[in-house]
Structure 1
Amino acid sequence: MIASKKCQKSTPTHPSCVTSLSAFHLPQEVWTQIFLFLSDEEKGNIRASCKYFKRLIDHPSLWRRSAVVLKRVHSYSAQFWTTLRRRKTSAAVVHKAATRDWELIAARLPWLTAITVEQCPDARALAALRRFGGLRRLVIRSFHCPAGLAGALAPLRALTHLCLCELQRAPRAELIGAVSQLAGLTSLSYHEGDKPISKRTLQGMLARLPHLKQLSLKLGPVYGTLPEDYFSLPATNRDVTSEATVLGRGDPPPSGLGLTRLELLNYMDPMLSPGALVSLSSLQSLTVSYRERAVRPSSCALRTWLCKLPCLTELTVTRGYPLAVYVRLLPASLRRLCLLQLIVGDGDLRDLGKRTPGLQHLHVDPSQGDGADCRSCPPSSQLETSNCARCGSALHLNVTEWEFVGLARFQNLQQLVVLDALPGPSPALLSLIHKLQIQTNYRVQVVHSLALKDPAACFCSQY
């Protein structure tokens, strides 16, 4: 979108500065809704076109889901901080900030609710986190863990989301002790170390986090199998809670931990037994990211897990076993399914459609060289977003024209993502897309890249 010269010279409040075409004399509220569909980079380009758009783009509603990345904090101008205040920026990613940098951030943006810390050289600088009274989300990632980090975490009792990712030389006992004091946590991602947390330590920590609903663990190489009651609360904790219930001081607790979301990263069988998730009957979302491909289907614990989770609606599997190993055991309750970097064979998607008739979101990104037969998907599958087609290069597709255009049978298909179309779609691919859009009356939006990764997220979650 290019603004006219008249737009650049007009007053910032006069709507006629938008364009000389009367059809685009839209109310500010309409422009704000349009700008919601833009990326941060696109909003920046529009902002530079004229004063009128500059004022509209800085509306706080357009930046609620955006995080500002701060590097060399003392080099920013006063106007930069003024812009952030105008947008009411609530999330920040802070790189290599010293104590004086944190003091400046706390003075300029005291209302921050989400902070990602990367490569902090001194734990004493993190003491400034206490100055952010509304801080609810904290991600600490990718640096040598300095002494005193646990002491900086313990006072942050208002935190609801905490992620510790790739902290080298971290004192595990001290960190877990500090985390255990954050009783208000509803989400915990603990991706530290090369070995799983011991059962006793994990259960002791989780017993002190009564509101925890989301748990993400990075599991390293382990010889043998962890205890089957690895995710169960300690018996002493259950006894104490039951006694309080009998005395009229509370309701009986749910079985297990009451988790609704569980992520297992860097996993390989037989690290957890087939019965390890039996106590997590309330689980609604499960992510299993295998370290590598698995070659022994008889060892697949996921087959049993899927049969023991009656509330499961979301499943993400990365690498590991071919889909055929467990596709016929997928629960009918699934609404969202992501299959990444694994083998999808002929007929697997047909079986998938039979098992999950209520599926609303399907993302299939198979391993290179493994084609997914999209014709085998029955029209009963209700797809909202589909990645069934994967383009191996700008000139070659891994699916046939019949398979690609056959996606038109999905009556609820709204968006199709074609991956690896670099540097751009070829004429042959554009022709296929045109045929698909004609078949669907241009209902389907075709894009050639996934959404940009969240700069504030944990590195491990961006697999």
Structure 2
Amino acid sequence: MCSPCLPRGSVMFKSLPAEVWTLVFRLLSHSDRLRVRASCRYFRDLVDNAQWRDWTVELRRSGQEYEEGFWHLLRRWGVTSADLSSTVGWTHVAKGLPGLTTLIISISCLTEMKDLRSFINLERLYVVLHTRARLEELSLVLPQRLMHLKVCSMCVYENTALPTEISPDSPFKKLKSLVYHCDSIPHPVDVLHFFLSSLPELQHLSLKIYSECLYKGHISDLPPLQNCSLSSLELVTCETQTFPMDFMKMLSKLPSLRSLAIFCRYECMDEYDENTLRLSSWLRDLPSLTSLVVSGGNAKGFAGSIASSVTRLMLLPSCFDSWTEDMAALSAQLPDLQHLHLRDNALGSDTAHIPQFFPRLKTLRLFHDEVPEEVFLSLASLQELEVLETLDDEPPPAALVSKFRQLTNNRVRIYNSPKDRWLWTCECSDYISADYWAQVLGTLL
């Protein structure tokens, strides 16, 4: 593609539109892109203008230690995301990269965030807190244009109370997505209700607040949620036994709620396990869901409570008493299921039942390990299948993939994504991020 025998600036390079070259470059590794960039000025400009905009630059030194030439290069590359290892010299970073829209920081003192408002175009912020910080204190340093906030705290918030209200001019009011993983005294029910009643534009919420205490209030006594725009909710490390059975009634009237992810803290024992009973009760109160992610419940126990409108389903390490019985129960409830993610590496020959249970699948993700070749190839009978993704550490044999493609006339795209890829690790917890399960199940948010 960049042979030395071709003169620099050759018209042969320009025989293809720049958009085509851009698509070609996206197939290359990072090192290969750099080699292409060094081959000629034409390719350098194409790579700079199109290839680095979605990348995050990691700045390991304080902002004032970088020269203007460095900032000029990043600006020319169109870099809009940065990970700041140092909390010194933020104003220099903001001046050098005025177009930054995404920032990743880790702080040990709230005063380190005093210059955060220098980033006038900031829309996304991910902050790891190594200190206690009240919500009202945090709101004083957030940029005004912020729309997406992720907060992960390393501290247990002792004697922390929720504010009575959030100021109308607070940046919190403009948030469209919030990931809030902070252990605090208020019960998760109270925290959830507070956010939903205070943030009118919030569309996605991921909440992780561990609590061993039972909820002492009554869901029926909570004020109704007014003008709430929530469409996606994620409950991480959920201690289900501390929530009331009618917990989801507070969300049942939300017109926009379509996606729910629940990651139970403990695995179930059987279909009458406390986790499963609560999941069944909660799902019964949400008849309009289209996307569901569940970890920790017994599929057979809550299958009958899933809304028949669900077309996207992800089941993570769950208790399968009998795989075929569980899938039959899900099949009866979800006849139009189109996207299925099964993280169970012991399906074996039972994989052959998937086309029978879910004939309308368009996306299927599962482990192929221990699945016989003829069973794996039987998945080609899924007439509407578009994507088949395996989750094993090693991809299926090339010969097997070739046979599958022949059976489907190359209609199905086949990928391999190792299982650790769907785990996004925060320093204080492991959980499946909203970004990833939105990618896995389609555009959920």
Using structure 1 for the length normalisation, give the TM-score: 0.78
Q: Residues 80-111 of structure 1, C-alpha deviation per residue, up to 9 Å, x if partnerless?
A: 4223212322222222x1322x1221111122
Matches of 1:289 and 1:308, distance apart in 2 = 18
Match of 1:374 in 2: 351
Match of 1:410 in 2: 382
Matches of 1:202 and 1:99, distance apart in 2 = 34
1:128 aligns with 2:118: no
1:314 aligns with 2:282: no
Asked if 2 retains the 8 angstrom alpha-carbon contact of 1:363 and 1:386, the reply is yes
1:290 aligns with 2:241: no
Asked if 1 retains the 8 angstrom alpha-carbon contact of 2:347 and 2:371, the reply is no
SS in 2 for 1:158: coil
1:28-43 paired onto structure 2 within 5 Å:
28-36=18-26, 43=33
Match of 2:440 in 1: none
Match of 1:441 in 2: 409
Query: Percent identity at matched positions?
Result: 30
SS in 1 for 2:200: coil
Aligned with residue 167 of structure 1, among 120, 129, 154 = 154
SS in 2 for 1:286: strand
1:173-212 paired onto structure 2 within 5 Å:
173=160, 181=170, 182-193=172-183, 197=187, 199-200=189-190, 203-212=193-202
Residue identity in the other structure for 1:432: L
1:323 aligns with 2:331: no
Match of 2:247 in 1: 276
Residue identity in the other structure for 2:311: R
Q: 1:419 to 1:48 in 2, by over 3 A?
A: farther
Matches of 2:334 and 2:233, distance apart in 1 = 21
Question: 1:219 Cα deviation (Å)?
Answer: 3.3
Match of 2:8 in 1: 10
Matches of 1:352 and 1:372, distance apart in 2 = 19
Asked if 2 retains the 8 angstrom alpha-carbon contact of 1:154 and 1:178, the reply is no
Match of 1:94 in 2: 84
SS in 2 for 1:135: coil
Q: 1:336 to 1:205 in 2, by over 3 A?
A: closer
Q: 1:407 to 1:317 in 2, by over 3 A?
A: same
Asked if 2 retains the 8 angstrom alpha-carbon contact of 1:136 and 1:160, the reply is yes
Matches of 1:174 and 1:410, distance apart in 2 = 53
1:71 aligns with 2:39: no
Question: 1:290 Cα deviation (Å)?
Answer: 1.7
Asked if 1 retains the 8 angstrom alpha-carbon contact of 2:299 and 2:318, the reply is yes
Q: Residues 198-229 of structure 1, C-alpha deviation per residue, up to 9 Å, x if partnerless?
A: 65565445432222222221131414346442
Matches of 2:298 and 2:134, distance apart in 1 = 45
Q: 1:444 to 1:207 in 2, by over 3 A?
A: closer
Matches of 1:233 and 1:203, distance apart in 2 = 8
1:201-350 paired onto structure 2 within 5 Å:
203-225=193-215, 227-229=217-219, 234=223, 253=226, 257-281=228-252, 282=255, 283-298=257-272, 299=274, 300=276, 301-318=278-295, 320-344=296-320, 345-350=323-328
Aligned length: 417
SS in 2 for 1:352: helix
Structure 1 residues without counterparts, runs of 5 or longer? 19-24, 239-252, 392-396
Q: Residues 434-457 of structure 1, C-alpha deviation per residue, up to 9 Å, x if partnerless?
A: 322221112222222259679998
Matches of 1:454 and 1:133, distance apart in 2 = 32
Structure 2 residues without counterparts, runs of 5 or longer? 434-445
Residue identity in the other structure for 1:154: L
Matches of 1:173 and 1:37, distance apart in 2 = 49
Matches of 1:89 and 1:177, distance apart in 2 = 39
Match of 1:154 in 2: 140
Q: Residues 110-159 of structure 1, C-alpha deviation per residue, up to 9 Å, x if partnerless?
A: 222221212x2443331111111222221112x42167996453243432
Using structure 2 for the length normalisation, give the TM-score: 0.81
Aligned with residue 16 of structure 2, among 20, 26, 30 = 26
Residue identity in the other structure for 1:4: S
Deviates more, 1:44-53 or 1:207-216: 44-53
Match of 2:371 in 1: 399
1:412-427 paired onto structure 2 within 5 Å:
412-422=384-394, 425=396
Matches of 2:135 and 2:307, distance apart in 1 = 42
Aligned with residue 144 of structure 1, among 113, 130, 137 = 130
SS in 1 for 2:240: coil
Matches of 2:159 and 2:101, distance apart in 1 = 26
